[in-house]
């Protein structure tokens, strides 16, 4: 799978200046700078066409496009990502966890997008810090999990994609502002870069771990009753 990551430029900026750099890739991933802030009110009213721009780009390049953005739903703000393939919007994913006193609130559930290049799971921002995020997407048979993150200010995001890839047996990719990284199912970083446009050829590989746990004393299944 040929993947192109755009870590800091906007979708329209790349479209106007560097479109040839995106061509020939199966998957194109933009960080949160891709669309910036999108108002659902303006989108529904026809004042803006940010989501349609993602769809148009995916059609022009015959690719799957994932584009991060912040969404404003009549004053309610969320971290989100638009997913489109060959001219069609497949859906919008939201961050599912809200931490502390952030102005961004929790949104919809996790989703795996069934595309022509495979099943793509999407994680938004701080959802990466919750192991169940990657676990749920892996259990839904994701071939690759893509995390759109804001700005890297600690080693933890890279640690989490390595742990998630290893524990769930699925390749994980991280696209943040001025930082891109990919981890294989062994928890090894295959690629890390601070460049704006980064290319990587990702081989889909999956593994399943047989896990057993030692239990002491009397144990009954939770649903068995007493």
Q: pLDDT of 192-222, one tens digit each? A: 999 999 999 998 887 766 555 556 555 555 4
Residue 60 CB burial class (10 angstroms; 0-12, 13-18, ≥19):
middle
Rounded Cα–Cα distance for residues 201 and 204 (Å): 10
Share of the chain above pLDDT 90, in %: 77
Q: pLDDT of 49-86, one tens digit each? A: 999 999 999 999 999 999 999 999 999 999 999 999 99
User: What does the block give as tokens for 91?
Assistant: 């859906």
* The CATH number of domain 2-201, selected from 3.10.330.10, 2.40.128.20, 3.40.640.10, 3.60.110.10: 3.60.110.10
* pLDDT value of residue 33: 94
Q: How confident is the model at residue 148 (pLDDT cuts 50, 70, 90)?
A: very high
209 close to 167: Cβ distance less than 8 angstroms: yes
Residue burial 150-163, b: 16+ Cβ < 10 Å; e: rest: bebeeeebbebbbb
Global pTM reads 0.88
Domain boundaries, the chain: 2-201
* pLDDT value of residue 109: 78
Torsions phi, psi of 106, nearest 5? -70, 150
**Radius of gyration from C-alpha coordinates of the chain:** 18
Residue 39 CB burial class (10 angstroms; 0-12, 13-18, ≥19):
middle
- Residue 84: CB atoms within 10 Å: 27
């Amino acid at each position: 799978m040929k993947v192109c990551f755009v870590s800091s430029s906007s979708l329209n900026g790349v479209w106007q200046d560097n479109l040839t750099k995106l061509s020939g890739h199966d998957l194109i991933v933009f960080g949160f700078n891709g669309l910036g802030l999108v108002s659902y009110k303006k989108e529904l009213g026809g004042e803006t066409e940010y989501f349609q721009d993602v769809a148009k780009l995916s059609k022009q390049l015959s690719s799957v496009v994932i584009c991060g953005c912040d969404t404003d739903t009549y004053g309610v703000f969320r971290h989100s990502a638009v997913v489109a393939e060959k001219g069609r919007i497949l859906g919008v994913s939201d961050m599912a966890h809200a931490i502390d006193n952030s102005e961004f609130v929790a949104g919809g559930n996790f989703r795996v997008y069934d595309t022509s290049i495979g099943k793509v799971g999407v994680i938004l921002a701080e959802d990466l810090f919750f192991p169940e995020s990657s676990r749920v997407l892996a259990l839904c048979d994701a071939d690759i999990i893509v995390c759109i993150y804001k700005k890297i200010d600690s080693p933890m995001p890279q640690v989490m994609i390595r742990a998630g890839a290893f524990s769930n047996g699925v390749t994980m990719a991280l696209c943040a502002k001025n930082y891109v990284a990919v981890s294989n199912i062994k928890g090894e970083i295959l690629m890390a870069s601070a460049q704006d446009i980064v290319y990587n050829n990702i081989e889909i590989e999956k593994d399943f771990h047989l896990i057993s746990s030692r239990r002491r004393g009397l144990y009954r299944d939770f649903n068995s009753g007493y």
